Structure 1
């Protein structure tokens, strides 16, 4: 386990998956991350790479060859190397190996960069294409935040407050986790999403191309809250395991296959294309109160 800290925060990150497992506020002694109770869901913040969500039949086609990848890819099950570390920041590195090349035929350097700045944790995904051809990939986050955040509140006291008032059409997931062909009406002309356990009984809420770039997890009954920013991520998932005390706020550059996708990787919705020796960088942040 790797630990970084500053005057206000302490973050713990597991080298397996470079997964954030704890974000502790030293001032109010609040833990903001889900405890990863395996009875509900044994993860806390897995990274999604080199795909986000499910592939149709767990397969994709690239240059005439068919490859198989599990939901959300393989990075979350890989041990990352610690490339550099300071008291308040750390860089994890994952590169291709013999096993990944059999299911993802690209060479790469994938870095997760964690940095504490005041009461904010910054999490960056850096992808470098080290090969000679174009690289196709997706990447995303899956952080699970504890709800409730204080003993005098309950799950239903909380809501997500977005920084833009807008419509939130929902792209529902079909069998196998595929995106349905059409969106359904969900929320209209609002910036507020009340949290209930029942909200996630039919899997994740998936949104595309929101105007909002930040969201606050808050309650009107207690001061403890957090602000999550996700500028540069065109897709957003909101999810919790059934009846579990957390909510995932998931920024994605990429999305699950649609029901009608032909499985060709370059034609996949939301796929990122990176030129030879090119670099891709996206960052989400969480500020705690």
Structure 2
């Protein structure tokens, strides 16, 4: 279970270099929507989200950052090095969810459906057309899974970075009550920066188990912070098999272990970029 440690690690590992990024008017290039430089805020229905895109090529790569626990974090900056490796032959888009980074704050609880609707409206407002390869990190990987299941006509593939996955919810009951996803439900919505319940997102995702779209998916798992080893036999003995089963439901699904921590974007951008290229190539076949 990786719902506890990332709360601390995210603060120290997140990059904030994008804080100085100028909020410019989106500037289309001559080649059209899929060869477009975007840098700015876009209205998604009463609030604006920050989006930056560069490069050209289809499918477009969309980075979905992990959970943010520190208001000073600019989460899309975690993937700048990955974008720079890809944008010579791919259209790459990074954004910040509501309440974090360079996006605007909404004074309300965020439901999982809000996060998904925000992304759909953001891509539409910026003229970023499908198909997409979603690059989802940690909690962003769970949202990627939800988006792919609810918009199978838009998503051509996914690369998941040590992400949460719905099958792990079956083990929640074996944990002490205070360590369960559900135990953070209220505090996530009332007191954390994003104001979104991870437990609600997991419950929503669990409805799609066994009905995943037939798309290529590569899951990069952290070898430095591996799943299991928490001293709870029901979890430790079964979580890797559950992860393998999850990845195996995609077509094709590939699980790779990488020598990196849970928040791996700043540490292995080359490996991540290579995985994205591989999934994009498979999606085009």
Higher RCO, Cα 8 Å, sep 6+: 1
Rg larger in structure: 1
Higher helix share: 2
Same fold (TM over 0.5): no
Higher strand share: 1
